Structure 1
Amino acid sequence: MILINKIKAVLLLCTCILPVLLKAQVVNNKPVKELAQLQQEFVDLRFGMFIHFNIATYVNQDWPDPEAPASLFNPTKLNCDQWAKAAKSANMSYGCITTKHHSGFCIWDTKTTDYNVMNSPLKRDVVKEYTDAFRANGLKVFLYYSILDTHHKLRPNCITPAHIKMIKAQLTELLTKYGDIQALIIDGWDAPWSRITYDDVPFEEIYRLVKSLQPNCLLMDLNGAKYPQEGMYYSDIKTYEMGAGQRIANDKDHLPSLACLPLQQNWFWETSHPTTPVKDPEKLVNETLIPLNKSNCNFILNVAPNRDGLMDDNALAALKKIGELWHNEGPLPKLPVSDAPIISSNIAKHVPANGSWSDDSAIMDFANDDDFGSSWVSNPTVKKPWYELDFDKDKEFNTIAIAEEKANIKTYSLDYCHNGIWTTLFTGENAKKIKLHRFKTVWGDKVRIHIETYDHQPSIAEFEVYNERR
């Protein structure tokens, strides 16, 4: 009898658990889209709202004191539905909120730090209210997250394993507690002003974590200033901060991109905003939004809520005017085929380099200094230039990229050396400015390029070598 009762109990437990397990399988087995499809869907969104709203809203500066108390954050009339309806009035397709900016204050209910909104007078999860409101109004949901975090001392030369653990835990919360997130915009990483490299905080680990949690979430890093427009480096989408002077060139076959600009004077709200004219809606539409869309670029316009948690009347009026002038006309033309982004660490940085005679001071070290603005330049008297990297010992790698300042090199060969024997990886023509080669993993202590034909004096901005996890 006891055995029968135990069997009944097990069967009852299975009956209760099985539907939950099946439901979990359905949730976790959503079709995973190809990156090209996600990129196309992203550019087709065309236009969205950036929302810089955080503790900086209360200090009249974009970068507050890292020790600013959580008690400052007190939006007594917070209304995310107002924001969503304002975005709809401009015919925007999505929103993106600053879950954590550079000062480290988290506006969601996080278990990773006490420096969060639940310890402010508000005591409400702003990220949840934002995601709920935007979805209820038929808008897609993006999130912004800063790697640089001055409150938690996650800054150059101070990064510890505990910091990386915190980043992973915070991103896991954001990507598991708030439903489908179409895109994650990362900031404060590999930027000249943040000085946190992709080695300090390992990009590939973070990228793969994001994709493991939400495979259909695009990850884009606001690193557009450093990397060439023709290559997709450390981002699923090219990014351009227009306020910092970053612009898309007009004469290129454009990769899928995002450009951002604030409607008001600053990213975060300041006391002068209600009485200072915002940017001209007609110019934003005709001189920014429409031209960007024609270049496969999605435009995200920042609108900063005030200290009450509402958008000012002048911002609301401008958004309504934009909506009268512009409508999303549907999908853009199909994007050109592009390579998968580079997400691994460049093992060629700063290793000893050699080459044929250089032109004056443009010596070989400039081709692996992690600076795309400098180049090794071949001396004009050399007819068959070559360039070589020496790892000193065998390294494992499966990707090589040759980045030129101008696409001068046409035909060439790539070789690697293992146990004193050189083996050819590629020989042929590639006229692209970013010459990307992916191949089966090899081991070697040297890598070189022999340049056969070229239009003008050959030069290499960066000779890059990667060991991608596949």
Structure 2
Amino acid sequence: MAVSIRQAAAVTPARRQLLWQEMEFYAFIHFTVNTFTDREWGLGDESPEIFNPSELDASQWVAACQAAGMKGLILTCKHHDGFCLWPSKYTEHTVKNSPWRDGQGDLVREVAEACRKAGLKFGIYVSPWDRHEPNYGDSPAYNAYFVNQLRELLTNYGDIFCVWFDGACGEGPNGKRQVYDWEAYYSVIRECQPDAVISVCGPDVRWCGNEAGHTRSAEWSVVPASMRDNEKIQENSQKADDGEFAKRVGSHDDDLGSREVLARVDEVVWYPSEVNTSIRPGWFYHESEDDKVKTLDVLVDLYERTVGGNASFLLNLPPDKRGLIHENDVRTLRELGQRLAATYRNDLAAGAEVQASDTKDDNHRADHVTDGTADTYWCPPEGVEQAELTIDFGREAHLDRVVLMENIREGQRVERFRLECMVGDDWKTIYEGRVIGYKHICRFDRVTAKRIRLVIDESRWYPTLQAFEVYDSGNE
């Protein structure tokens, strides 16, 4: 049975998903024995003796993140090699058997405390695949081991905003393939950290489908429920000739939530997108990539396409063998923060006159879209699917960016819209878009106008708008 438009419009995010979405931009930190072997994937046979960063300073990582405008950090506490950056009592393959801090160190604690001190949120990446642990492949035994390690991380390091799982599932040292007990993993996370989102191989945050920073022109947060299983590798293959496999919507598909998709599925969920990519070609540090840091213009474009495309932006920053984020990366991150702050500093719509073609009531007035608060919003009466909002600056203004935000507490509703400016006596279309969602950054050639109009051509049941901001990126 197809999902109706009203049913899709009624799907809303959980509190943890709202808190996560509002972060917008945060860091991945890939750091482990691979940093010292110059590899991307460790084999699991690396000696803890090689882990010995000479100048490790978690506060330097946090400062680099803050300079870029990030609001959180996710640390790779255990990658596929199985080496633990905390002194886990369930294995000897940890920092406690390394020379770093004379075996008394706990990198997870240092990073968590540095984040807390600076006001950044802290998250953890834990690989289910463990190429060191002998029990891997003995599914019941390893699942118990992994849950124990999860519980250590979830109970000893304060609040955690995200638990990030990938679906890597290779053979273990015994030649057996592990069957992950995802539900047991989720259960302990919900028990210990109820506000943490579970990302990628989890029910809260969806992988965008690539690691190169590519984004969709229309990114839906309301998608088929089956997508929650897409990254669980063992579930990707067809199991039965029952017609259901053909209905599956893949993470790489361009259209995940249009009316055409709704017509062929029977359940949808709130499952928003995260775009993850690295500031360098690799995920771990390699000296040969010191001159291959993404440029400022590339990073600005990535930010505006991801955060401005109804997704979040997870940018990887790999510390070097010293335990520091390299100077080239730090410089570019600082420039990124400065550029974004300058571009989005002066909202030309703040305090401007706003008129709407239709308004539900006085609690949902048109001027709520320019009041700068997240607690108010505009909407027309229920059932009104097309509407217009016009902003009058009261003077001629230069502009090339518009930021639109739906009130996603009421769902994701806008399907097609356009922006128009008054040129002479005529309205000229300067931008056309398909969805808004949490945030949509509209970029267009610089224009000069006294008035700008948002025309919502299609929506689900009725649209909402929390913010209508206007900027001039050339006015830095």
Same fold, TM exceeding 0.5?
yes
Task: Classify 1:282/1:205 alpha carbon distance in 2 versus 1 (closer, same or farther; 3 Å).
Answer: same
Instruction: Return 5+ residue gaps in structure 1 as ranges.
Output: 1-33, 224-233, 340-431, 433-470
Q: 2-side partners of 1:154 and 1:305: how far apart? A: 30
Task: Classify 1:190/1:55 alpha carbon distance in 2 versus 1 (closer, same or farther; 3 Å).
Answer: closer
Percent identity reads 29
Q: 2-side partners of 1:80 and 1:38: how far apart? A: 26
- Name the structure 2 match of 1:130: 111
- Name the structure 2 match of 1:278: 293
- Name the structure 1 match of 2:332: 318
Within a 5 Å distance, the mapping from 1:29-68 to structure 2 comes to: 36-68=14-46
Aligned to 1:200, the other structure's residue is in SS state coil
Query: Match for 1:39: what amino acid?
Result: Q
Task: Classify 1:82/1:43 alpha carbon distance in 2 versus 1 (closer, same or farther; 3 Å).
Answer: same
- Name the structure 1 match of 2:308: 294
In the alignment, structure 1 residue 335 sits paired with structure 2 residue 408: yes
Alignment equivalent of 1:172, drawn from 151, 170, 176: 151
CA-CA distance at 1:216 after TM superposition: 1.1
CA-CA distance at 1:65 after TM superposition: 2.8
Q: 1-side partners of 2:304 and 2:39: how far apart? A: 31
Q: 2-side partners of 1:84 and 1:258: how far apart? A: 21
- Name the structure 2 match of 1:261: 277
Task: Classify 1:125/1:199 alpha carbon distance in 2 versus 1 (closer, same or farther; 3 Å).
Answer: closer
- Name the structure 2 match of 1:251: 218
Query: Match for 1:306: what amino acid?
Result: D
Query: Match for 1:217: what amino acid?
Result: A
Q: 1-side partners of 2:281 and 2:157: how far apart? A: 31
In the alignment, structure 1 residue 76 sits paired with structure 2 residue 54: yes
Q: 2-side partners of 1:38 and 1:283: how far apart? A: 30
- Name the structure 2 match of 1:112: 90
Instruction: Return 5+ residue gaps in structure 2 as ranges.
Output: 1-11, 222-270, 346-371, 375-404, 413-459, 461-476
Query: Match for 1:278: what amino acid?
Result: V
Q: 1-side partners of 2:144 and 2:407: how far apart? A: 39
Task: Classify 1:289/1:38 alpha carbon distance in 2 versus 1 (closer, same or farther; 3 Å).
Answer: same
Aligned to 1:259, the other structure's residue is in SS state strand
RMSD: 3.0
Task: Classify 1:44/1:38 alpha carbon distance in 2 versus 1 (closer, same or farther; 3 Å).
Answer: same
- Name the structure 2 match of 1:240: 208
- Name the structure 1 match of 2:160: 181
Aligned to 2:122, the other structure's residue is in SS state strand
Q: 2-side partners of 1:153 and 1:199: how far apart? A: 11
CA-CA distance at 1:253 after TM superposition: 3.0
Aligned to 2:217, the other structure's residue is in SS state coil
Q: 1-side partners of 2:85 and 2:320: how far apart? A: 15
Task: Classify 1:252/1:120 alpha carbon distance in 2 versus 1 (closer, same or farther; 3 Å).
Answer: closer
Task: Classify 1:191/1:72 alpha carbon distance in 2 versus 1 (closer, same or farther; 3 Å).
Answer: closer
- Native 8 Å contact 1:190 1:197 kept in 2: no
Tell which has more relative contact order, 1 or 2 (C-alpha 8 A, sep 6+).
2
Q: 2-side partners of 1:273 and 1:251: how far apart? A: 33
Describe the superposition over 1:75-100 as per-residue Cα deviations: whole angstroms up to 9, x where unpaired: 12110000000101101100011000
- Name the structure 2 match of 1:87: 65
Describe the superposition over 1:275-309 as per-residue Cα deviations: whole angstroms up to 9, x where unpaired: x23001222112x1112123321101111001110
Task: Classify 1:257/1:135 alpha carbon distance in 2 versus 1 (closer, same or farther; 3 Å).
Answer: same
Aligned residue pair count: 289
Task: Classify 1:198/1:300 alpha carbon distance in 2 versus 1 (closer, same or farther; 3 Å).
Answer: farther
Q: 1-side partners of 2:148 and 2:157: how far apart? A: 14
- Native 8 Å contact 2:219 2:310 kept in 1: no
Query: Match for 1:144: what amino acid?
Result: Y
In the alignment, structure 1 residue 101 sits paired with structure 2 residue 116: no
- Native 8 Å contact 1:183 1:219 kept in 2: yes
Task: Classify 1:188/1:45 alpha carbon distance in 2 versus 1 (closer, same or farther; 3 Å).
Answer: same
- Name the structure 2 match of 1:15: none
Describe the superposition over 1:298-353 as per-residue Cα deviations: whole angstroms up to 9, x where unpaired: 101111001110111101101001101114889653337679xxxxxxxxxxxxxx
Aligned to 1:258, the other structure's residue is in SS state strand
Q: 2-side partners of 1:68 and 1:80: how far apart? A: 24
Task: Classify 1:191/1:95 alpha carbon distance in 2 versus 1 (closer, same or farther; 3 Å).
Answer: farther
Query: Match for 1:316: what amino acid?
Result: V
Task: Classify 1:140/1:272 alpha carbon distance in 2 versus 1 (closer, same or farther; 3 Å).
Answer: same
- Name the structure 1 match of 2:322: 308
CA-CA distance at 1:246 after TM superposition: 7.5
Task: Classify 1:191/1:103 alpha carbon distance in 2 versus 1 (closer, same or farther; 3 Å).
Answer: closer
Task: Classify 1:65/1:176 alpha carbon distance in 2 versus 1 (closer, same or farther; 3 Å).
Answer: same
Q: 1-side partners of 2:189 and 2:28: how far apart? A: 21
Q: 2-side partners of 1:191 and 1:136: how far apart? A: 38
Query: Match for 1:260: what amino acid?
Result: N
- Native 8 Å contact 1:67 1:151 kept in 2: yes
Q: 2-side partners of 1:59 and 1:197: how far apart? A: 26
CA-CA distance at 1:132 after TM superposition: 0.4
CA-CA distance at 1:252 after TM superposition: 4.5
Task: Classify 1:197/1:165 alpha carbon distance in 2 versus 1 (closer, same or farther; 3 Å).
Answer: same
Length-normalised TM-score, structure 1: 0.57
Q: 2-side partners of 1:216 and 1:198: how far apart? A: 32
Describe the superposition over 1:3-26 as per-residue Cα deviations: whole angstroms up to 9, x where unpaired: xxxxxxxxxxxxxxxxxxxxxxxx
Aligned to 2:275, the other structure's residue is in SS state strand
Within a 5 Å distance, the mapping from 1:383-398 to structure 2 comes to: none
Task: Classify 1:191/1:94 alpha carbon distance in 2 versus 1 (closer, same or farther; 3 Å).
Answer: farther
